[in-house]
Amino acid sequence: MLHELARLPQGLKPDEFHRACTSLTTSVVFGAESLRSRAGSLTRDVAVFGRVRPISELRARLAALTLEDVNAFLAGYNPVGHATVTTLGPVDPGGPLAESVFSLPAEVHHA
């Protein structure tokens, strides 16, 4: 997972962008049908945006999103640089977790 997050500043490929847009649009549409999901969305909208965003607005904003917009944002986004990996118990220095963390690009590796 850390490797995928470290890859984000390189941008998305067109097929990744298309899948993400389809998934988000589907989530917005079907999320509006579930009472629990809609209640969570309404609460989050009020907490984050100070207002409830109508479903039509969400769908319009998703439809207007372009691959270039997303990649321009991702170029300056470095989630791994601020991530902390915490484990409980010993970590095998040659094990998969250690290999994963210590094989990250130097600019995001903070050992």
8 touches 74 (CB < 8 A): yes
How many whole angstroms separate alpha carbon 79 and alpha carbon 1?
11
19 touches 100 (CB < 8 A): no
38 touches 32 (CB < 8 A): yes
**Would the pLDDT of 18 be above 60?**
yes
**pLDDT, tens digit (0-9, with 9 covering 90-100), for 34-87:** 788 888 889 999 999 999 999 889 889 999 999 999 999 999 998 887 777 777
Q: pTM higher than 0.85, yes or no?
A: no
* Cβ atoms within 10 Å, residue 104: 19
Q: What is the pLDDT of residue 104?
A: 61
